[in-house]
Amino acid sequence: MALSGLDIFKLLPKTNCGECGVPTCMAFAMKLAQKKAELSECPYASEDAKTTLGAASEPPIRLVKIGSGNTAEVGNETVMFRHEKTFFHQTGIAIELCTSEGKNKLLEKIKEIENYGVERVGETLTADLYLITHDSSDPEDCLSAIKLAKEHSTKGIILNCRDDKTLREGLEIIKDDRPAILLQKELSDKDIELAVSFDGSLILTGHSYDDIDGQAKKAKAAGLNSLILNLESDNLGRQIQDNTILRRSALKKNIKSFGYPLFSYVRAENNFDLLARASALICKYASIIALPEYDKALLYSLFTLRQNIFTDPQKPIQVDPKVYPVGDPTPESPIFITTNFSLSYFMVSGEIENSGISAHLVVADAEGQSVLTAWAAGKFNGETIAKFIKDIKLEEQVKTRKIVIPGFVSMISGDLEENLPGWEVIVGCQEASDIPSFVKNVQLT
């Protein structure tokens, strides 16, 4: 039977030293109960506590870190479905760099990847890792590619090199950067020694559950816990099934040898198929996906999907409720209003900017809900909007007395005018994309 937070707390030293990363022993006990921490993080845990808690305190899926700059953290998940709680560590997206491409092409590719990022609802979305695959005959090609990635990027590096001597030399170059090693063969003692020596992670490749189980147990018995599992399959349906079984086995059955992040190299004949496969694997438990090519359109789609999945469903993404200037507004500039749901804010502000005007965008506190959701919940109506406008003293900041409300809540216009004497309420368009044409056809000042 799983121990409760209170049961675990009784076994802790109760020093509240904070050295475990949380301020109190009770808070640490709660993290242990939720499988979000390990007892080894407490420097003063007694032998009795270690014996009693032991493996029971380990997270069901281990946290693995790759890289030392923009560290990619994967694993440490606690639920099968995000609506049960949330997913904590988003799928790492790795771009493959093949050593046969040559130094000049690789350098150009790395620089382009480094400069590519997508701004969406206040976050900058980028790729996380490089998978360096040694597919040429010259060992120097591999070492050169590793040096280029290290010198021109802070992303974590996964090495895919079958030559032991070249692999060791490559690891020497990035020995302080927590690399990962993709094994394409059965795990050996030499592989474990390499990972331990260079503080790296091993990606274990197998073709059956027994194969993965045996390799993971062997690595753990040797003291290596920084593992990632790669159960290979050419069939996408089978791969999704395997990922689901591995995840369920770790979370529901407490099978320790399956309690590690999952890796998938995505192969496809064309970009449409590649996108479909990568999307399915992001949805179904791949902790890292490796893409064989760099394509902006492909990445943009995957970034958007990943962001939507790896946000807390119980905490909508929101911006601070206040007045935001769009362009260079004056006291006479028009006023628009929306809720503090991030997507609403960024879409509305972007379309106002596209219209070519400057304006004040009032973002009302609606607990991060969208316009219609907030209206239905009674958090975005004439009374609440008027109160917010008075609280922020908008009338002292502007001279205009016209305010544009979203078209989907046109029914609140009368109520808002009653609560804001002297103001004229203008019903705007329903879709943010129609703001530029709306601005051209309506007198706002």
d(CA 385, CA 407) in angstroms, rounded, equals 15
Average pLDDT over residues 125-140: 94
pLDDT over 80 (residue 3): no
Angle at the Cα of 168 (from 165 to 171), degrees rounded to 5? 150
Confidence (pLDDT) at 169? 94
pLDDT by residue (tens digit) across 115-132?
A: 999 888 778 899 999 999
110 contacts 131 by C-beta, under 8 angstroms: no
**β-strands 263-265, 288-291: how paired?**
parallel
- At 64, is the pLDDT very low, low, confident or very high (cuts 50, 70, 90)? very high
pLDDT at 51: 74
- Kindly state the tokens that stand for 413: 């216009």
For helices 236-251 and 209-221, the axis angle rounded to 10 degrees is 40
What mean pLDDT comes out for the span 139-164? 94
For the stretch 382-410, pLDDT in tens is 999 999 999 999 999 999 999 999 999 99
pLDDT > 90: percent of the chain: 72
pLDDT, position 54? 64
pLDDT at residue 1 above 50?
Answer: no
pLDDT at 94 over 90: yes
pLDDT, average across residues 134-153: 94
pLDDT, average across residues 189-218: 94
CA distance 57 to 30: 11
Query: What residues have CB less than 8 Å from 53, skipping those under 6 apart?
Result: 3, 8, 11, 32, 39, 45
Q: What is the pLDDT of residues 257-305, one digit of tens each?
A: 999 999 999 998 898 999 999 999 999 999 999 999 999 999 999 999 9
Q: Which domains does the chain have, with CATH numbers?
A: 5-57 (1.10.15.40), 64-309 (3.20.20.20), 323-441 (3.40.50.11600)
Cα separation, 430 vs 408, whole angstroms: 5
Question: Would you state the pLDDT for residue 121?
Answer: 73
Name the pTM for this structure: 0.77
For 401, residues 6+ apart whose C-beta sits below 8 A from its C-beta are: 422, 423, 424
Q: Which residue shows structure tokens 């991060």?
A: 368
- Residue 39's pLDDT band (boundaries 50, 70, 90)? confident
> For the chain, what's the residue count?
445
Q: Kindly tell me if the per-residue pLDDT of 417 is higher than 80.
A: yes
Provide the Cα torsion 66, 71, 72, 73; round to 10°: 90
The residue with greater pLDDT, 266 or 86, is 266
d(CA 185, CA 254): 27
Encode pLDDT of 219-238 as tens digits.
Answer: 999 989 999 999 999 899 99
Position with higher pLDDT, 365 vs 7: 365
pLDDT tens-digit readout, 348-386: 999 999 999 999 999 999 988 899 999 999 999 999 999
Q: What percent of the chain has pLDDT over 70?
A: 98
Q: Is the pLDDT confidence value at 445 over 80?
A: no
pLDDT averaged over every residue in the chain: 91
Per-residue pLDDT at 2: 60
CA gap 38, 325 in Å, rounded = 46
Q: Look at residue 313 and tell me whether its pLDDT is greater than 90.
A: no
Owner of token pair 């390990």: 38
Is the separation of the CB atoms in 216 and 204 below 8 Å?
yes
Average pLDDT over residues 55-72: 83
Q: How far apart are CA 369 and CA 392, in angstroms?
A: 20
Residues 6 or more apart whose Cβ sits within 8 Å of residue 133: 96, 97, 98, 99, 160, 161
